Amino acid sequence: MLRWILWDNHKGSSQFGMTRFIANFLPEKHRNADVIAFAVGRCQAALTVLEAHLEGRDWMVGDAPTAADFSCSAYLFYDEPFGMDREATPNIQRWLDNIRQLPNWKHPYDLMQGHPLPQS
């Protein structure tokens, strides 16, 4: 579990969050296409690792959700573009659906007052 929490910290959410911000929320005049392309590439590399790990698995570690699932999935529920091709990541999408089916799950924007964009 610790391995995946650390993976998320260094390869997942750190890249997903930064890329989501610079591609969607940074004022347009400050968006650098080369920087965004580099960041998207880092996200795609991380998503490739995650997609492969989730092949044949319902959860990151073991037979039930753990802190690793919640840590690694957090940014993946946002719809703003950051390099994730949802059609190309069926294992990730199945896993996210598993998390959505957990009792009391809510979309992150449902938990934030005044969220910036509507969820789809």
pTM of the model: 0.88
Domain membership of residue 116 (yes or no) is: no
Question: Residue 13 domain-assigned?
Answer: yes
What is the tally of structural domains in the chain? 1
| Pairwise CA distance, residues 49 & 12, whole Å | 10
pLDDT at 116 exceeding the cut of 70: no
Residue 16's CB: how many other CB atoms inside 10 A? 24
**Residue 117 pLDDT > 80, yes or no?**
no
- Whether 61 maps to a domain, the answer reads yes
Domain that holds residue 29: 2-111
Rounded Cα distance, 92 and 73, in Å: 9
Query: Tell me, what CATH number does 92's domain have?
Result: 1.20.1050.10
Per-residue confidence band for 112, with pLDDT thresholds at 50, 70 and 90: confident
117 occurs within a structural domain:
no
